[in-house]
A and B are shown apart, each in its own frame.
Chain A
């Protein structure tokens, strides 16, 4: 087989002293020929394998050199090996998550609506899970409750539930998706967050909205999402006032965010450009995605 294609072989001088006489033929080893050979993979040559791959006859030293050169091209695989080094692992994963959050923010369209569903698709109220991180009922005094509004707003202060309920009421059947992997389609009613932000004179060019909750939970949401038309300050589920398990009297409801972003038992909101480093969100501070966007 090797003798079928003599035109591909060339003699070069200075053969390895260990070589035996019958193996004097060596392929030319210049860079030019090497790269040319590799590009010829496309067009089957006479001296090529069934896939058109170039065949060469080389000395062991040349073969080692060729192998080394090709090995260098796999360096990016070694870079991935940095994840195996414990010192680099968490910083790299943080970067990866941060990059995914950044891409998620780019993908988000303020006017692109999440899917809405018919009443027939809504799960029975009894089958809408109560999800809480610590206590199912922090014992909010619903009579005295007010929402504290702070930060970059023209009209900070204490807001009553009636003031929020006086805004146009939006009722929507949307999907509530939990980071664990389950989801339920529920019926939610409330005021558009963008309407309330207008009421309080919020600086909507600010970047974030921070919330604190009566149960000690806390969250922060990007302004783009707060201004999304389906983002609600939610005070009703299934046509009834929010019950204590679902965050009475007021919670966030955003069909474009995962469940853990939908803060319940809202206590205060703050419009801000700077997030406090260890107060980005209860779960986010432990490693969940901050953006949490769907």
Chain B
């Protein structure tokens, strides 16, 4: 990173700017809609969980956790359900928009985590978290990024399907079967939320570490002085 920063430095003083179009608008729109919806779905979901914070029977009821109200959205169960049942459309809609776009353009090949990426995960994690050497990456996304982004798609699909079973168990009882039944659907729904909660801090730390230009490219699509030109 140090070498590329040095190479970029002179360009800052010139008038012409090198920019690259990193993120098509459909991807950016899907990303930001989904980001907002995800926060609402987690916050309202925690409020809903607070009404019965257990995965066991009603009698006898054994609460697993107490979720403080300030981490939740909706104020009460009914309010949280309104948020949840409104933003689920935005959450699923933006997710579908992204997945369909990636499939249609073939871009999924750049971001989908494949078995061949497994060996590259540890060196990348060592670089990021343990100050190890930076592995050479000649692809759009490094193996750790692929793992993280592919995981979010998995969590999204899992939370949608388990949510469908919880919302409409009489209509989709057959869909509960591969999940281990209706009760497990609720556990998996919660687990998928935990997956997102695990992803978000790592993602935000990376955004901060990679600086303003990188962040801004997710807003306007154009990235100033892309690092691979350094």
Closest to A93 in B: B82
Q: How far is the CA of A181 from the CA of B75 in the complex (A)?
A: 17
User: Is residue A274 within 8 Å, beta carbon to beta carbon, of the partner chain?
Assistant: no
- Judged by a CB distance under 8 angstroms, whether B226 is at the interface is yes
Q: List B75-106 residues whose CB lies under 8 Å from chain A.
A: 77-79, 81-83, 85-90, 105-106
B29 close to A115 (CB less than 8 A): no
Q: B15 near A: Cβ within 8 Å? A: yes
Most central of B17, B21, B173, B229 by chain A CB within 10 Å: B21
Nearest Cβ on chain B to A201's Cβ, whole angstroms:
29
Report B9-40 residues with CB < 8 Å from chain A CB.
14-22, 24-25, 28-29, 32-33, 36-37, 40
Which residues of the partner chain B approach A41 to less than 8 Å between Cβ atoms?
A: 21, 24, 105, 107
Q: Known contacts A59-B16, A93-B86: does B25 contact A70 (CB below 8 Å)? A: yes
Residue numbers in B under 8 Å from A115 (CB-CB): 169-170, 173
Q: Are B20 and A55 in contact (CB under 8 A)?
A: yes
Q: Contact size class for A?
A: 35 or more
Nearest A residue (CB) for B74: A93
Q: Which residues of chain B have C-beta atoms less than 8 A from A59's C-beta? A: 15-17
Q: How far is the CA of A127 from the CA of B57 in the complex (A)?
A: 9
Q: Enumerate chain B residues within 8 angstroms of A56, measured Cβ to Cβ.
A: 18-21
A94 CA / B78 CA spacing, docked (Å): 11
Contact among A49, A55, A95, A181 with B186 in the assembled complex (CB-CB below 8 Å): A181
Within 8 A of A (CB), among B210-230: 216, 219-222, 224, 226, 228-229
Contact B85 A76 (CB under 8 A): no
**A294 close to chain B: CB less than 8 A:** yes
Q: A71 in the interface, Cβ–Cβ < 8 Å?
A: yes
> Is the CB of A140 closer than 8 A to any CB of chain B?
no
> Are B81 and A288 in contact (CB-based, < 8 A)?
yes
26 contacts between A and B (CB under 8 A): A1-B229, A20-B15, A41-B21, A53-B20, A57-B18, A57-B19, A58-B17, A59-B15, A59-B16, A67-B216, A71-B220, A73-B25, A74-B32, A77-B32, A94-B82, A100-B86, A114-B173, A115-B173, A129-B59, A181-B186, A182-B58, A184-B57, A256-B170, A286-B78, A288-B78, A293-B168
